[in-house]
Amino acid sequence: MERVRIGVIGGSGVYDMEALQDVEEITLETPFGSPSSPYVVGTLEGQKVAFLARHGRGHFISPTQLPSRANIWGFKMLGVEYLISISACGSLKEEYAPGHIVIPDQLFDRTRLRPLSFFDDPLHGTGGIVVHISIADPFCPYLSAILYEAVQATGTPVHMGGTFVVIEGPRFSTKGESRIFRQWGLDIIGMTAIPEAFLAREAEMSYATMAHVTDYDVWHETEEPVSVEAIIETLLHNAEVSKEAVRHAVRALQDAPPSPYANALKNAIITRPELIPPEVKERLSLLVGKYLQ
């Protein structure tokens, strides 16, 4: 199978990429189960691109139940180095208005129920290996800059930088939570960037997010509180913007070097190699094989 360097994971409202040509559907199995849906691999701007619907086609998987480890592992199996995330988000700042797009540069974790790592999970056969990955800057600056310019090219208002707080969901925030998040200096709020960003770093990929502002969460006194109806209305408008921006980004990645995180695990594995069970080395060989030979 031809290697695919660019991946796109579509969030709410983005369940396909019609612009892909010579399309092939690829169903994969991983040590962490099945991904959300088959990967759609095709050609865009002369390059191979793999697309995955994060919540499944038809949106039937909630944020807490997303098979994020399987999703990211599948992209790694395909050879992806640059992973573009499309996500919906609420705004915690007046200037980030519904319809705008934010390219965040930081994350704040308020999740509680999700596996955050591929490693040391006995339930999935990866116990006995401890990895401490550096995630000080969770989004790839190189890919984020490309996404920012790609959105600019569509004419849509876009903001570079900001802290993305990720909540467990599936419920929306209370007003008390929303106000506290604003006091903490957080900028946008969503439900899926964690653990994706952490897993992408463990998989040595560049990861960046195109976050589509759909609402003002519930803190704004002159706007209606967030609702599914309001989100869908904005998402339908922004879906085409997302796809156009992805086209610009893919074109800009044509001559991209290897991911800046291609060796992110090099100094992150703290367990002595001889203590790692052979079956665990084998199970995780896609990620750690080159370091444990």
pLDDT (tens digit per residue) in 176-185: 999 999 999 9
For residue 231, is pLDDT > 80?
Answer: no
- In-domain check, residue 110: yes
So what's the pLDDT on residue 233? 73
pLDDT at residue 228 is higher than 80: no
Is 274 part of any domain?
Answer: yes
Q: Is pLDDT at 112 greater than 90 in this prediction?
A: yes
Among 11-25, 92-106, 244-258, name the one with the lowest average pLDDT: 11-25
* Higher pLDDT pick, 167 / 223: 167
pLDDT above 90 coverage of the chain, percent: 84
How far apart CA 24 and CA 26 sit, in angstroms, is: 6
**pLDDT score of 197 more than 80:** yes
Question: What tokens does 293 get?
Answer: 């030979």
Assigned domain for 1 exists: no
Q: Is the pLDDT of residue 100 over 70?
A: yes
Residue 226 covered by a domain: yes
Residue 238 banded pLDDT, cuts 50, 70, 90? confident
Tell me, what's the pLDDT at 225? 65
Q: What percent of the chain has pLDDT over 70?
A: 96
Q: What is the pLDDT of residues 34-69, one digit of tens each?
A: 999 999 999 999 999 999 999 999 889 999 999 999
**Residue 118: inside a domain, yes or no?**
yes
User: Is 101 inside a domain boundary?
Assistant: yes
Q: Which residues are catalytic?
A: 215, 217
| C-alpha–C-alpha distance, residues 88 and 288, integer Å | 33
Average pLDDT rounded to a whole number, residues 111-120: 96
Q: Sorting pLDDT into bands at 50, 70 and 90, what band is 220?
A: confident
Strands, E assignment, 181-284: 188-190, 206-215
Please indicate, yes or no, if residue 167 is contained in any of the structural domains: yes
191 lies in some domain: yes
Overall number of domains in the chain: 1
Answer whether residue 166 shows pLDDT above 70. yes
> Distance (Å, rounded) from C-alpha 61 to C-alpha 244?
26
Tens of pLDDT, residues 273-293: 999 999 999 999 999 999 998
Q: How far apart are CA 281 and CA 293, in angstroms?
A: 10
* C-alpha distance from residue 83 to each of 113, 123, 194, 287 (Å): 24, 27, 14, 16
User: Rounded to whole angstroms, how far apart are CA atoms 215 and 282?
Assistant: 45
Residue 177: give its domain's CATH number. Answer: 3.40.50.1580
Mean pLDDT, to the nearest integer, of 74-87?
97
Question: Please, what is the average pLDDT of the chain?
Answer: 94
Give the domain range for residue 46. Answer: 6-291
3 state SS of 233: helix
Model confidence at 226, in pLDDT bands (50, 70, 90)?
low
Phi, psi (degrees; rounded to nearest 5) at 26: -125, 120
Whether residue 131 has pLDDT greater than 90: yes
Q: Tokens for 272?
A: 């002595």
Q: How far apart are CA 249 and CA 76, in angstroms?
A: 20
Q: How confident is the model at residue 222 (pLDDT cuts 50, 70, 90)?
A: low
Question: Can you give the pLDDT at residue 193?
Answer: 98
